[in-house]
């Protein structure tokens, strides 16, 4: 069923569940005396259960935002999540998302994720059609040919340009995360992976201040939310791609990729592999982290000729 959050009257913002409550599914196991850390007590030691070490996501509902391009990271991630058994929803701002959904066997939605009301309507529509979201990949915000990154020195950057970059790259992750964390906490399991970038958290280039600030903010949001959700079985991590060869890549970006230690730009599927690992039960002991996928570029101290 097609869904467009802007078709007809907008819904009000969706009431949030109380994510501060302890998870209903949180369990513990008891170790016999002497099996735990040494202390002066013979009382049994209690530890939380660990998850099975598996990559499979059979039956879980996953949402990938910003998956409108067939050559992008969002699309590659949705395909991998589908292959791991997840029931996948994808969303973008244009109706081309329905073409991607048909190709993937996923469910497509159209929504402006910078709009609080549309995010609430999206959450309700996914719950109705697929069930509650358990895996969220906040990929929306990466630049495209239709919506290019603003490249302008701070002295020449308008407030609207600054605000637009923050909204597109950071506010989308905040609104989508807030819409789904309550349900994840109630069920005692969830995965959130936010797309950051090396620009901002690791390095920066002139004219990229707004983008870099937004992507650094994504990492801050990731770490803070990870600590808020850690007791509820929900992990929150970030992936920071370097130069990746997509349909939106410029010639300058591709040349940057050739200059990495690996000697080429990365591919969307290589980034998707990192994302989907962090979405899996196998990554249950990883939270609040940023995984850099840049061919070693941020490690190299200098480029020698």
State the catalytic residues.
Answer: 211
Tokens 């990929």 belong to: 139
The Cα–Cα gap between 75 and 52 comes to 27
Burial of 207 (0-12, 13-18, 19+ CB in 10 A): middle
| Sign of the alpha-carbon dihedral angle for 74, 121, 194, 274 | negative
Neighbours of 36 (CB within 10 A): 15
| DSSP three-state, residue 290 | strand
Strand partners, 4: 110
Check if the beta carbon of residue 177 is closer than 8 Å to that of residue 138.
yes
| Tokens of residue 119, six digits | 């995010």
| Nearest CA-CA partner of 61 in 139, 15, 125, 118 | 125
Check if the beta carbon of residue 116 is closer than 8 Å to that of residue 175.
yes
């Amino acid at each position: 069923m097609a869904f467009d959050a802007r078709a007809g009257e907008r819904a009000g913002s969706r009431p949030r569940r109380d994510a501060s409550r302890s998870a209903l599914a949180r369990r513990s196991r008891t170790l016999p005396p002497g099996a735990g850390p040494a202390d002066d007590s013979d009382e049994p030691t209690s530890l939380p259960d660990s998850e099975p070490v598996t990559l499979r996501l059979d039956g879980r509902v996953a949402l990938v935002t910003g998956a409108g391009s067939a050559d992008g990271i969002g699309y590659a991630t949705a395909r991998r999540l589908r292959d791991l058994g997840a029931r996948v929803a994808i969303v973008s701002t244009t109706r081309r998302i329905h073409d991607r959904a048909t190709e993937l066997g996923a469910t497509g939605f159209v929504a402006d994720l910078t709009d609080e009301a549309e995010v609430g309507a999206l959450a309700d529509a996914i719950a109705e059609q697929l069930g509650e979201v358990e895996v969220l990949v906040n990929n929306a915000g990466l630049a495209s040919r239709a919506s290019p990154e603003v490249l302008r020195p701070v002295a020449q950057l308008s407030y609207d340009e600054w605000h637009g970059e923050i909204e597109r790259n950071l506010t989308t992750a905040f609104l989508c995360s807030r819409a789904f964390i309550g349900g994840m906490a109630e069920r005692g399991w969830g995965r959130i992976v936010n797309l950051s970038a090396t620009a901002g958290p690791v390095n920066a280039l002139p004219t990229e201040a707004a983008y870099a600030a937004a992507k650094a903010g994504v990492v801050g949001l990731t770490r803070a939310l990870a600590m808020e959700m850690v007791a509820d079985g929900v992990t929150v991590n970030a992936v920071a791609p370097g130069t990746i060869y997509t349909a939106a890549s410029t010639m300058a970006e591709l040349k940057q990729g050739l200059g990495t230690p690996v000697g080429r730009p990365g591919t969307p599927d290589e980034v998707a592999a990192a994302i989907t690992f962090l979405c899996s039960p196998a990554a249950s002991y990883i939270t609040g982290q940023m995984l850099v996928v840049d061919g070693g570029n941020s490690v190299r101290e200098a480029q020698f000729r």
